[in-house]
Amino acid sequence: MLSKYWSVLMVTAVAPLLWGTTYFTSTTFLISDHPLLTATLRAVPAGLLLLCIARRMPQGAWWWKSAVLGALNIGAFFAFLFVAADRLPGGVAAVVGGIQPLLVAILASRVLSERMSGTVIAAGAGGFVGVALIVLRSQAGLDLIGVAAAVAGAISMAVGVVLAKKWSDRHPPIATTAWQLIAGGVLLAALTAVFEPLPTSAPSPTNIAGYLYLTLVGTALAYLLWFRGIAMLPTRMPAFLGLLSPIVALLIGGLAARETLTWVQGVGVALVFASVLTVVSGSRRAT
């Protein structure tokens, strides 16, 4: 029988696996060139659905905590991510985002007094290199604004993850996840209204199906599992599991385009798995 640690770990890993389908879903099924609208339609309906299930509103300090976490983990993170993806070709945004597990580990050691070891640092560096080998292309260019947005997104999510762990209390994850999604979604809706025009045509049935999948599965379910894992595991664990997302995106993209894995990408996949397994096994021995 699986121990509680491993069962929680495996369930949490489902979240980045689902996020790995986001790029294919967005480029294949959704209305193109409306990233902020897509982010809003991911966050707000998912948050409202979870709120209906949780049937619990924030109380006291959780009103401002929800606003802070929603901005860091959802609103600001999505906005920075889309700016970076738009300005950084060749997967550079994903590479910069690969520093997030190391940032989380460093912040958790300072804020939460979680153990920080040379092994974790090495695993973080290995994961960063692995993601670079998976997604980076030789023709990829650098744009200072894009790089700054990617770094800001990684920092935003890292701080949000650590604070979500620090503030995890008696409230169930389904409630705190709902509050964050709604708060972040409201911020994204405001950004959409200011910076992005609405689509000129009505969504097709294919578009609607894509949005439903992204909202229900890629956001409501994925973030619920993610924040549940943050509350129950050492903070660095969900962050390192997030490195699995580019692997899923690579596999789906390869299957869709009928492309084979290059040896460089194979090395990257191996490095990512090695980094995740190193942290997983080390955390398990420490518990």
CA atoms of 171 and 148, how far apart (whole Å):
35
Residue located via tokens 């890629």: 218
Q: What is the C-alpha separation between 279 and 13, in angstroms, rounded?
A: 13
Instruction: Say if residues 272 and 128 touch (Cβ distance below 8 Å).
Output: no
What 3-state class would DSSP assign to 287?
Answer: coil
pTM: 0.90
Predicted confidence (pLDDT) per residue in 212-259, tens digit: 999 999 999 999 999 999 999 999 899 999 999 888 888 887 787 676
* Count of structural domains, the chain: 1
pLDDT exceeds 50 at position 1: no
Residue 263 CB partners (closer than 8 Å, separation 6+): none
pLDDT band at 270 (very low <50, low <70, confident <90, very high): very high
Q: What is the pLDDT of residues 66-110, one digit of tens each?
A: 999 999 999 999 888 878 777 765 566 677 778 899 999 999 999
Domain limits at 254? 4-286
Using CA atoms, how far residue 163 sits from 66, 88, 159, 254, 281, in Å, is: 11, 29, 6, 36, 24
178 CB-contact burial (10 Å; exposed 0-12 / middle 13-18 / buried 19+) = buried
Rounded CA-CA distance 259/253 in Å is 8
* Spatial distance between the Cα atoms of 159 and 155, rounded to a whole number of angstroms: 6
Instruction: Please say if the pLDDT value at position 286 is more than 80.
Output: no
Q: Quote the DSSP letter at residue 212.
A: H
At 264, the pLDDT band (50, 70, 90 cuts) reads confident
State the pLDDT at residue 91.
60
Condensed to tens digits (0 to 9), the pLDDT of residues 241-254 reads 999 988 888 888 77
